[in-house]
Structure 1
Amino acid sequence: MKIFRLTFFLVLISQLALAQTKRNIDHQSLTWIRYYNILPLTEKWALHSEIDNRNFIDPICQNVFVLRVQGRYRANKNIDLGGGFAYFNANTQNPNNNPDYSVPEYRLQQDVTLINDIAKITFHNRFQVEERFIQKANATELLDDYSYAWRFRYRLQATFTLWEKEKQSLKGSISDEVMFNLGKDNTKNTFDQNRIYGALRYAFNPNIHLELGYLKSFQRRASGIDFYDRDIVRFTVYHKINRKTKA
Structure 2
Amino acid sequence: MKLYYLLPLILLTNGTAIAQSEKKIDHQSILWTRYYNQLLLSEKWSLHSEFDNRLFLKPVQENLYVIRIQGRYKINAHLETGAGFAYFSVDTQIPEINPDFNTPEYRGQQDLTWKETFGKFGINQRFQLEERFIHNANKEILLPGTIFSWRFRYRFQTEYTFWKKEKQLLKAVLSDEIMFNFGKNIIKNTFDQNRIYAAIHYGLNSNVAFELGYLNSFQRRSNGIDYFNRDIIRFSIFHKIKISKKI
How do residues 108-119 of structure 1 correspond to structure 2 at under 5 angstroms?
Answer: 108-119=108-119
Match of 1:12 in 2: 13
CA deviations 1:119-165 (Å, max 9, x no partner) are 42111110000000000111111110210000000001111211222
What residue ranges of structure 2 are gaps of 5+ in the alignment?
none
AA aligned to 1:165 is K
Other-structure match for 2:36: 36
**Offset at 1:19?**
4.2
1:139–1:171 Cα change, 3 Å: same
Q: In the alignment, is the contact (CA less than 8 A) between 1:38 and 1:240 conserved in 2?
A: yes
Q: Look up the equivalent residue of 1:115 and give its one-letter code.
A: K
Cα distance in structure 1, aligned partners of 2:38 and 2:66: 17
Q: Which moved more, 1:177-186 or 1:123-132?
A: 177-186
Output the CA distance in 2 between the equivalents of 1:160 and 1:7: 18
- Matched to 1:182, the amino acid is F
Aligned residue runs from structure 1 range 38-187, under 5 A: 38-187=38-187
Following superposition, the deviation at residue 218 of structure 1 comes to 0.2
Give, as a single letter, the amino acid of the residue that structure 2 aligns with 1:220. R
Q: Is the 8 A contact 1:42 1:245 kept in 2?
A: no
Contact kept, 8 Å, 2:90 with 2:103, in 1: the verdict is yes
Q: Which runs of 5+ in 1 are unaligned?
A: none
Provide the rounded CA distance (Å) in 2 between the counterparts of 1:200 and 1:29.
20
| Cα RMSD (Å) | 1.6
Using the aligned pairs only, state the percent identity: 51
Aligned AA (1:94) = I
Aligned-partner Cα distance in 1 for 2:195–2:52: 17
CA distance in 1, matches of 2:19, 2:60: 31
8 A Cα contact 1:29 1:56, kept in partner: yes
CA contact 2:120–2:162 (8 Å) conserved in 1: no
Question: What amino acid is the match of 1:2?
Answer: L
Q: Match of 1:210?
A: 210
Secondary structure, counterpart of 1:32 in structure 2: strand
Q: SS at the partner of 2:75? A: strand
Give aligned pairs, total: 246
With over 3 angstroms needed to count, the CA separation of the structure-2 counterparts of 1:121 and 1:152, relative to structure 1, is same
TM-score, normalised via structure 2 length: 0.94
What's the offset of the Cα at 1:241?
1.0
* Kept in 2: contact 1:4–1:156 (CA 8 A): no
Please tell me whether the aligned partners of residues 43 and 245 of structure 1 are also in contact (alpha carbons under 8 angstroms).
no
Range 110-119 or range 143-152, more displaced: 110-119
